[in-house]
Structure 1
Amino acid sequence: MLIKIHPDNPNPREIKKVVDILKDGGLVIYPTDTIYGLGCDINNQKAVERVCRIKGLDLKRDHLSFICRDLSHLSLYTKALSNDVFKTLKRNLPGPFTFILPANNSVPRLFKNNKKTIGLRIPNNAIILEIVRELGNPVLSTSIKDEDEVIEYTTDPELIHEKYGNLVDAVIDGGFGGNIPSTIIDCTEHPMAIIREGAGIPEL
């Protein structure tokens, strides 16, 4: 199913359609402020495992990220943050960044692994933020890659639907995406370190 949603003024009816799919354990491909992502409700273990199968990820070994609606939502999944880290998040979010943060006890229960850290995103994209807000839970975030050696990430939602439509329950057409992923910043080290340069230049 290809669902067209306006990137600036998402229609609540279309958002609800996507949220209902996620609540039913469905998988959705959605736009962010960087590349298109593949995800599900992080509280649905079967859906998380399905995402991992599609991407060839190992839940116990690989690092997973998810999208929160705002900083107070994000704080539900992290240990207490230092003032420096909190100010950095506030300065840069929403934005094209993934912050590696110390995970609190609710995260291993969700993913059934012993990871001490979690990647968290608050993208500057009205569609996915509205979906997360309406759902009430974060959405798993993993990128849609392309086999093309020149263009690593597919930017056209119709082509994404052609390729992945039979593997997922919905693809959102929120316009063309970017082909540069988010910048990853490790906040568990002091000083904070950029571990992947991407679409954003953070203010640290």
Structure 2
Amino acid sequence: MAQYFEVHPENPQPRLLKQAVALLSNGGIVAVPTDSSYALVCHLDDKAAADHLRRIRGVDDKHHLTLLCRDLSELANYARVDNKQYRLLKAATPGPYTFILEASKEVPRRVSHPSRKTIGLRVPEHKTLQDLLALLGAPLLATTLIPPGETEPMNDANEIRDRFEHQLAAVIDAGACPLEPTTVIDLTEMGTGGDAVLVRQGRGALGAIGL
């Protein structure tokens, strides 16, 4: 049975978030609000949790998972970023964008794309999620909470609890969040002189980051 943490949207209670951190550290999957719909998250270093997250989401190991990072400096620990890529990332973070980059050695091979050795990374602009990341002290492995066989993400905490209460360790409710996934941009070609490639248009506007 999933625990339910109802937190204040602007001043989330640390004691509740600490309980969620403890569940994540023990291998749990938690549904968290972001600046672009809810996401399922787990501890980066827990293989069993990552496998469980994929099963809940109904995706295989070829599906890009995303690292949620506190800030751009943390993101740069997990991806190879040159100056041109860094300038674009700086303009877009924090915000509703996911960037595909070449994974650094800090990323476990089992969570990067099996053939391309890439990883999706983003810095969310959401107070509750930022506080959770700060308490954890590490990135979270994440995927948009889109139920298997469906195309739209979920954004209502009560509906998520009702539907996944036996598969999740917890649901964090900080009020409804947007019902639109992130904009996904592949920056790997930019690292070899190419251009950024739009993979999915979502909530993040391209014009806002100069694309």
Task: Tell me the TM-score normalised to structure 1 length.
Answer: 0.92
8 Å CA contact 1:42–1:110 kept in 2: the answer is no
TM-align CA RMSD: 1.8
Q: Hey, what does 1:164 align to over in structure 2?
A: 164
1:159 offset after TM fit, Å?
0.9
Whole-Å separation in 2 of the counterparts to 1:129 and 1:17: 15
Q: Hey, what does 2:155 align to over in structure 1?
A: 155
Q: Hey, what does 1:145 align to over in structure 2?
A: 146
Q: Hey, what does 1:193 align to over in structure 2?
A: 197
Q: Hey, what does 1:17 align to over in structure 2?
A: 19
Matched ranges for 1:63-142 at <5 A: 63-79=64-80, 81-109=81-109, 111=111, 113=114, 115-142=116-143
Matched, 1:44 2:49: no
SS in 1 for 2:43: coil
8 Å CA contact 1:108–1:114 kept in 2: the answer is no
8 Å CA contact 1:43–1:110 kept in 2: the answer is no
Whole-Å separation in 1 of the counterparts to 2:115 and 2:12: 37
Whole-Å separation in 1 of the counterparts to 2:45 and 2:137: 10
Whole-Å separation in 2 of the counterparts to 1:179 and 1:5: 19
1:116/1:146 CA distance change after superposition, 3 Å: closer
Unpaired runs of 5+ in structure 1?
A: none
Whole-Å separation in 2 of the counterparts to 1:84 and 1:111: 25
1:148 offset after TM fit, Å?
9.4
1:110 offset after TM fit, Å?
5.2
1:25 offset after TM fit, Å?
0.9
SS in 2 for 1:106: coil
Whole-Å separation in 2 of the counterparts to 1:99 and 1:2: 30
Whole-Å separation in 2 of the counterparts to 1:182 and 1:35: 8
Aligned pair count?
A: 201
Whole-Å separation in 1 of the counterparts to 2:82 and 2:165: 42
8 Å CA contact 1:99–1:185 kept in 2: the answer is yes
Q: Hey, what does 1:181 align to over in structure 2?
A: 181
SS in 2 for 1:16: helix
1:51 offset after TM fit, Å?
0.5
Deviations 1:1-60 (A, max 9, x none): 11011121111111111111111111100000011001101111111111011122222x
Which amino acid in structure 1 is aligned with residue 188 of structure 2? T
Deviations 1:49-76 (A, max 9, x none): 11011122222x2221110111111111
Unpaired runs of 5+ in structure 2?
A: none
Task: Tell me the TM-score normalised to structure 2 length.
Answer: 0.89
